[in-house]
């Protein structure tokens, strides 16, 4: 009997100890949840979807020091702005305490169409094949082998700077909290940078400090199909032409105004809307022709269209996008203004004319001279 009582007592002691251990774990977990929620409220301004790339608290202190005049320069953290990575979303507004309403963002950036290459020097070291002499052949035993010679040339792509400065009043800066301010920088200011970068990637004339864009002479081959052909037929013919050069179409770039000509296709006679079955439109309005996405860009010249093999091109980043704030610039001290600078150094190599077929929906293609 005593053995049974001892066993019951030991079991009771173990249950009590286990209960105390579980209670301690639960209290610890609840404390961690409270900490996570507190951090979430701090980062998101009380419950939004903003997800900065670093903790804002250290940046907030630096921002407050700059805003109060204790420091003369401030460099905010710039969030990576790639496809779909907008800090606040297209057309979103920033609030608390001041309200900043931004213009909508472009859906796709041209840099996303090409392989991205970090740079360690001032230019992309490109060696380009410009021709060949001879070739392979069948050879009898002990016979001399045929000769194959390549013509190679060095065509480096120099990194160029894209930059702008903007002045805002110190009073406005005092009315903005850090989260709202960084959100605005990551939407509007960087959006304007990307617009200029797209323009350079498309229209840059290759004379420094301009990039050599897709429309520059030497970076495209004219489409063989007459411009009088149906818009969709022209694009399909250009795709086949590009494949004839051993390339694979990866993107079709048109001006936004050309979308109507592609989508509002009517059957002859009946006049009913009649899209070919090799044109697909997804739930978000994205268009593809034979599986190749159609990218509408304001940087494309009208009435041009471009069919490109972006995988054979290269986009280089020597200095990523950075934003700096300065108090001492020009007459800032006298006028109580703050200067914000946004800049980056990038390079682009289209790598020859056979990676890009350039056509026009009407007339002849237009391009910078």
Longest dimension (CA), the chain: 107
| Predicted local distance difference test score (pLDDT) of residue 178 | 66
pLDDT digits (tens, 9 = 90+) for 113-124: 999 999 999 999
Whole-number pLDDT of residue 101: 57
User: Which regions of the chain carry the CATH code 3.30.2320.10?
Assistant: 83-120+159-369
Angstrom distance (rounded) from CA 310 to CA 290: 16
The contacts of residue 293 (CB under 8 Å, 6+ apart) are 251, 252, 286, 287
- pLDDT tens column, 97-116: 455 555 656 678 999 999 99
Four-way CATH pick for 83-120+159-369: 3.30.980.10, 1.10.1060.10, 3.30.2320.10, 3.50.50.60: 3.30.2320.10
Residue 88, burial from CB neighbour count under 10 angstroms (0-12, 13-18, 19+): buried
According to the model, what pLDDT value does residue 325 have?
Answer: 84
For the chain, which residues score pLDDT lower than 50? Answer: 39-56, 81-97, 369
Average pLDDT score over the chain: 79
Whole-model pTM? Answer: 0.72
CA distances to 26, 38, 39, 258, 270 from 33, in Å: 10, 9, 10, 52, 65
**By three-state DSSP, how is residue 340 classified?**
strand
Instruction: Look at residues 75, 344, 26 and name the one whose alpha carbon lies nearest to residue 194.
Output: 344
Residue 70 has what pLDDT?
Answer: 65
The 10s digit of each residue's pLDDT in 295-350 is 999 999 999 999 999 999 999 999 999 988 888 888 887 888 889 899 999 999 99
């Amino acid at each position: 009997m005593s053995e049974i009582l001892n066993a019951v007592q030991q079991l009771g002691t173990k249950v009590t100890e286990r209960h105390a251990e579980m209670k301690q774990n639960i209290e610890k977990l609840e404390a961690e949840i409270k900490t996570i929620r507190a951090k979430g409220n701090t980062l998101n301004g009380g419950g939004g979807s903003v997800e900065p790339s670093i903790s804002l608290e250290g940046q907030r202190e630096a921002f407050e020091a700059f805003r109060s005049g204790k420091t003369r320069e401030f460099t905010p953290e710039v969030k990576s702005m790639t496809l779909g990575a907008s800090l606040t979303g297209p057309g979103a507004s920033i609030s608390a305490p001041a309200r900043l309403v931004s213009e909508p963002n472009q859906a796709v950036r041209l840099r996303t169409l090409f392989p991205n290459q970090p740079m360690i020097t001032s230019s992309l070291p490109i060696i380009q094949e410009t021709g060949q002499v001879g070739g392979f052949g069948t050879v009898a035993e002990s016979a001399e082998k045929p000769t194959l010679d390549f013509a190679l040339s060095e065509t480096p792509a120099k990194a160029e700077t894209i930059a702008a400065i903007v002045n805002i009043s110190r009073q406005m800066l005092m009315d903005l909290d850090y989260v709202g301010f960084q959100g605005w920088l990551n939407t509007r200011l960087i959006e304007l940078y990307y617009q200029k970068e797209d323009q350079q990637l498309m229209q840059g004339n290759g004379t420094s400090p301009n990039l050599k864009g897709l429309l520059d002479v030497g970076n495209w081959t004219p489409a063989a199909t007459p411009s009088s052909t149906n818009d969709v037929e022209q694009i399909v013919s250009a795709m086949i032409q590009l494949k004839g050069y051993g390339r694979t179409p990866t993107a079709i770039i048109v001006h936004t105004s050309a979308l109507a000509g592609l989508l509002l296709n009517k059957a002859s006679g009946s006049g009913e809307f009649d899209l070919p079955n090799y044109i697909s439109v997804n739930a978000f309005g994205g268009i593809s022709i034979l599986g190749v996405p159609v990218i509408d860009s304001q940087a494309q010249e009208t009435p041009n269209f471009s069919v490109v093999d972006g995988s054979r091109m290269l986009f280089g980043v020597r200095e990523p996008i950075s934003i700096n704030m300065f108090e001492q610039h020009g007459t800032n001290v006298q006028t109580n203004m703050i200067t914000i600078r946004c800049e980056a150094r990038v390079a682009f190599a289209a790598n020859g004319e056979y990676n890009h077929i350039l056509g026009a929906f009407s007339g002849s293609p237009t391009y910078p001279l």
